[in-house]
Structure 1
């Protein structure tokens, strides 16, 4: 089976040189650019520093980034990969299928690009020639780690993500790439610009204990600290064996299960967001909310106004003489706070359809969760991308965990508080179809109290993550930043879950009253 798949892989590689001449020339040029990029990536550290120790730190940072991409990218983009379920109809054992897919992955363009990079590393590092066996072992471990990690990520993605949701998965991968790109570019540029800096050394020391950087760092420790080098090699080898074991188990599970078929009578085209979500109450309500946010001008105007408040605050603080680093850290938390707070009156905005949830017996927590879909779909990418840009502008990527944890906690806690007040204190708002700038003239509506109390609660819930993240932002140590990240994620999830349950209980008990109240708004 291995020989047959190798011939198939070779045919697929040669297929790149067949077709229209323009397409072949374009593929050849892209291949040459990739080869030149691989060689340049291996040569850059030597150009920036002549010291082997500095080059070691830079190599650890670059190698960790390359291996991390090799493992993560196939999870989000795997349309051209063979999957184990395609071999379910053949009389082959799971072990032979797993071994064949793993071995034949070597004949693929990404692996060939990595081979070019590893060979270039060997040629551009004269210090490796003195003791060739550790570098050879390091290169072999990096190649095996990339191959097994890529196969496992691709197979896991095919197993857990339905085929009709592959587009959403690729979009999520693009968002993650955009979020990580500024930090990656900044860290690589910092490492190349200042090889002697503490930031590069700290990053290399942390990554050296991960499977991605351990083999490279072990090469440079071989002469001075053999025990530490052996330990790093053991970490890399253990990671490869673990990934290989998980791959064989994944193939066995994939061959013994079948994908859940899509119902033949279910409409899957022309329904917008409804065709992208499962047929569950919270998901359907979320799809309807997403449709409202895309088509209703009331939501678009409110969304467009969110970036204006941070701009006004930045101008005020800048005039007051606040430093640049503090100004950079301010806009994103304020925007996330306003974004989460923006749905505090969503029941009133949805006044013409709220009766459907009450009449159908929809559980309150499903209503609360569904209405938060647009906020979370906008806010989570904003947290990733905005946190990455924030630390890049500040100039210290070590504070990224604290910044991301703080911003995520602010978004989730503000969304949770709005989920409570949306059912507790709805007030009259612009009617559907009216101008988003028109306001209903209702006496004693209580809109001021609802807005004030909901914003006050959102601001109070945002204090703990800001308090925990503040020491990590002042002194960006590894332990402080990781604690701020873990606390921010856990705190935000807990607050959102508790507020969703409270808001759901309020919605269930006050459902008829909410229907009667919202009818008076229309």
Structure 2
């Protein structure tokens, strides 16, 4: 069964890449970046191998971070999960126990799996100091790689199932940011230890990481290398127990998934009075998008990802520094980038239901403007809440000086996203399927889109940033820069909506063909 699933994944991967040139290019770029990471880390592994055991302990913290990323990455970026959805096997007489080994091995076929395997082999190189340590490193590589996959699949399966229930969805939305925050608080603790101990940074980081579930397996060869065999046996027992527990939990979740289906609609829909005829198309599109944040589990995960990517990485630093940390403006800048990514992928969440707009004769610019309005308002509300939070922790920021570049970046990102979304619908999972499920090249393609959405607005808003720097000592000059940023950003937004609307008007049939895979 494992060989069948691996061949199935390879077949899906090759056929999907062969049908879509842009996806193939994105996948190749992702493969090149992964190769650079692996090749670049090889000299580091060789250096750790030649150094002392204390210096080599940094491999424990590094591999613990890899395990943590396997759990967080599918939650932060929807669409990077395994393309083999277990629910597709519900029509076959197969139990979860037969599928788990094959799904685990198939998950390692791809860019993330290949990088993880390469890193696991490099940590074997690091600990190849003696026969016992080498053998322990091989065991750790097997346990650690399996834990990465099973932990990721178990967590995403449980959350995906919960997101189809309104109360559970609210609980997940509240709990997930706290899960993201835990390792960041741990990082702040390690940062303080590094600042106080200097040269022993790797040792202190490994000491903390080895007693977390993410580092139990990777700490076994370190304990063997330094002669602590009792601690090595304890970590081996903990890592084995963790893997077995995750397998049992995943088996139960898969059994439920193979015998039931997720509800297609969560909760009831209340029909309200229709708006006026003049504003109906624009406001209806914006209202439908705003309601999707609460009703569609896939869009709910977008909201969680926005919070996790923008706020949580700098929240511990802001709190510990009393609000004076220089990265305090990073959440506002990242939210502007996320606005462009959201509108660029928005059509994919409509799927073939977009045909109703085509039949109704809604102009393309109205579609682009309605989606930009909904996402822009959502981001502005989010930015306002972040600003209030920064003020609450004592942040001292020249809000008038930074508002110009931030507003300009937001408007330009929305315009660029409106244009890119009309050219390609983006990435989304099928309605009713696992909100974390992905497809071949989807993760690499999403990363490429995010990179474009980050670089282009940064270049276009550079004149506003220069003006804000020059006008930082004059309130009147700062107001002039803000007004210029509004005009400049509005021009970029208008051009993006106009060009995207023309593209949709001319290529509506082709766009519907692209949207079929998201139906």
Larger Rg: 1
| Larger RCO (CA within 8 A; separation ≥ 6) | 2
So what's the TM-score if we normalise by structure 1?
0.47
